[in-house]
Structure 1
């Protein structure tokens, strides 16, 4: 039996033939445009050391929580997939995926993996229990080829900019090595200080003590702020353009200097009650905005995720292993103190992301259509799927237009999925713009200019690239 053809070139485009034809032309204008990825989680070490991917399971299953969580929901133990460093047999994990492949029908994860298998790895065979071993061997052969190491893939994928996410105390030696390697891609670090700002974070006190020790600052609130500012400056010297903040509750709180000092001592000692911890956390979000105004780092805010919902799996496998969930999010009231102080600052860029789909049209788009500092973050996490991207694009455009968006952000550790995710967004945008053309709401020339802008120039402007 001959293998099936490669992916439908018109996939994800609207079914109406008139709209589809315009969408196809729009997509072709940007299909091979360079990828600008200003926020993601590919480890810098992979690129610095040009680390080969070990096996198909590690590449496509173990580190992709979109895949592992749905397999877990289908009764598969995470330990059998290698999650949390459990050391599972990779071939057995791959066979498990193949046996459960039907559960991914219609999902974004299934769509991306089919793209990866066909277009990135050159394997058009459909995944099934019968083909599992053959596909595994073909992927392994690709991974043994130097052409599939991270640096080669940066070029092959056409990645122009790739941002990593890094701990404030990282010495950024991997980034220094990358900068000296003469790569065509620009790889930049991102300052991610959550564990040093949130009193409810695991070992918060020890993290702050390490921060103060590393910078030689005193254990006072002023010393704590100076230590964070020093580490931000270190990141800027290594090319960072943004600071990223993940919060469950997007809340900014203004404290007096005396209150800030008192609360700092309480949270550092571990004696602070919940209201004090909440207020301190909110005050530090305000301080992060103040620092971004001062040093120019773009402030990205990822809000509304309940982390580690399953205590059992968290204890067994650790964080970021699939047991995080979205919650309803309110930004207008929570961020009012922050925007009251900094929302009109000329060079302050605040990019807002959420996993509450309704908040995009309800709050984020209206704020972005007034405050020059506020930008609409791309659909994120549970929302970076084809239909959700199209829904959110439709829900925010009538209020804020196209210019107030961030451009697409892949926000992923799954390296091989980066081109598929960006292509998904480009196809969704092409379909949306084509509909506006057919409905007489914009011209073809306008649609062409917009789609060319949002894949490159726009994210470069928003992230000061």
Structure 2
């Protein structure tokens, strides 16, 4: 016997009848708004080549670290889920077997945002009307597989169906951006832009850092064996990214520490970084100096700067050894923004030419540090609840802890920050529903008039992200 998997129209709205009625009315203003996705990690090759996705497992399971980290936590090997190994050793290639294994463990996702995103994709994108179980796995697999063979389920068609107005991917400075060039020359109207992620050439602890810096010099024809040449090369690549639509940079540093050293100190530190591994404190000084240098460049070229600190990357050495980066083993850490950002803010915090969007994995900093900082410095904006907190409860905690100090206009709306293409409409729908529920409570409490709440709902879903990321320019 099967159970319906239809989504309730009132999902995530407040249970109180008065607030729920208000939330419904507010949601009506934002439900059909275009999706603005200014930061993410989807593959630009999907939109450049516009080829059919290979099978349901390759689309929904193998690339999604939210999915396979949960299964791995319950003892399921990543090889059995088709996650490629670095050494090329065999992993499961049969999409149906991977899907069956996933379906057998669907119960593990109860209470997680992954369950909501995947249910939304199954129901709204593929028209699935039964709950995923071991018994329904093959029927659902066949339905999705049949859909993926049709032209209306190719990447560009889904992009248009999802009503995506703009989508930003994220690339290394060493990336030639051939897929973005191909998209731009194809005549397709979809707006897919890149974002500049300099971590491989600004973090001395990054794997291959010294070779990456040398490659940066070759690409730009600048002498990256000197501090001045290295900075010129980075500025050169930023301009190249901007020429292909980039409006932002993205920085995934371990901390929010920044430093403002003299040019001589920077040259000496840079030379030590090129010679060999730096001591941990020197590596931190170098990364922190580079955040300040990136802010200076953003003042010059106008690219919006995003800082995503506070993740202990690749915490599981065995997983990193066998499967590489971004395999679900990144763990949040405590982050100090007040002291860490002070050198950068002393230089640029009052400069309206800079937009620095801050994210956190340390929720304790919302009310104590981030909201007060963004509520004062013109250069700062707060990014939405991120990564582990990209969830209904995480979003509610975010609004409850930052709004009274930072207001709404010092936030940057919502961005989905995902590799999972089909989760994009689901994530934006969750954010819109949670925000409408939050605003409905304020209307019911007589803290806002409903017309004000309706304006705010549109801002949070659409306008703030466009303005923060300069997507109107």
Same-fold status (TM-score > 0.5): yes
Deviations 1:50-92 (A, max 9, x none): 1211111111111111110110111110111111353432211
From 396, 413, 416, the counterpart of 1:410:
416
Return the alpha-carbon distance in structure 2 between the equivalents of residues 456 and 241 of structure 1: 17
Once the 2 structures are TM-superposed, how far is the Cα of residue 185 of structure 1 from its aligned partner? 2.7
1:446 aligns with 2:452: yes
What is the correspondence of 1:371-390 to structure 2 with a 5 Å cutoff? 371-390=377-396
8 Å contact from structure 1 (residues 197, 284) kept in 2:
yes
What is the correspondence of 1:25-424 to structure 2 with a 5 Å cutoff? 25-84=25-84, 86-218=91-223, 219-270=225-276, 272-424=278-430
TM-score by length of 2: 0.96
Return the alpha-carbon distance in structure 2 between the equivalents of residues 390 and 273 of structure 1: 40
SS of the aligned residue for 1:62 comes to: coil
Once the 2 structures are TM-superposed, how far is the Cα of residue 4 of structure 1 from its aligned partner? 2.0
Return the alpha-carbon distance in structure 2 between the equivalents of residues 164 and 327 of structure 1: 25
Return the alpha-carbon distance in structure 2 between the equivalents of residues 456 and 182 of structure 1: 26
User: Structure 2: which 5+ residue stretches go unaligned?
Assistant: 86-90
From 463, 467, 473, the counterpart of 1:461:
467
Return the alpha-carbon distance in structure 2 between the equivalents of residues 216 and 429 of structure 1: 48
TM-score by length of 1: 0.98
Count of residue pairs the alignment pairs up: 465
Once the 2 structures are TM-superposed, how far is the Cα of residue 273 of structure 1 from its aligned partner? 2.7
Return the alpha-carbon distance in structure 2 between the equivalents of residues 229 and 70 of structure 1: 40
Deviations 1:258-300 (A, max 9, x none): 1111111110111533322221111111101111111100000
RMSD: 1.2
Q: Decide which moves more: 426-435 or 399-408.
A: 399-408
Q: 1:96 to 1:195 in 2, by over 3 A?
A: same
Return the alpha-carbon distance in structure 2 between the equivalents of residues 383 and 459 of structure 1: 18
Q: Decide which moves more: 228-237 or 78-87.
A: 78-87
Once the 2 structures are TM-superposed, how far is the Cα of residue 360 of structure 1 from its aligned partner? 1.8
Return the alpha-carbon distance in structure 2 between the equivalents of residues 9 and 402 of structure 1: 26
SS of the aligned residue for 1:351 comes to: strand
Deviations 1:228-259 (A, max 9, x none): 00000111111110000001111111111111
User: Structure 1: which 5+ residue stretches go unaligned?
Assistant: none
Return the alpha-carbon distance in structure 2 between the equivalents of residues 121 and 294 of structure 1: 46
Deviations 1:166-199 (A, max 9, x none): 1112222211221223333311110000010011
Return the alpha-carbon distance in structure 2 between the equivalents of residues 332 and 51 of structure 1: 47
8 Å contact from structure 2 (residues 34, 163) kept in 1:
yes
Q: 1:87 to 1:167 in 2, by over 3 A?
A: farther
Return the alpha-carbon distance in structure 2 between the equivalents of residues 123 and 411 of structure 1: 26
Query: Structure 1 residue runs of 4+, over 6 Å off?
Result: none
Return the alpha-carbon distance in structure 2 between the equivalents of residues 230 and 93 of structure 1: 44
Once the 2 structures are TM-superposed, how far is the Cα of residue 3 of structure 1 from its aligned partner? 5.6
Once the 2 structures are TM-superposed, how far is the Cα of residue 2 of structure 1 from its aligned partner? 7.2
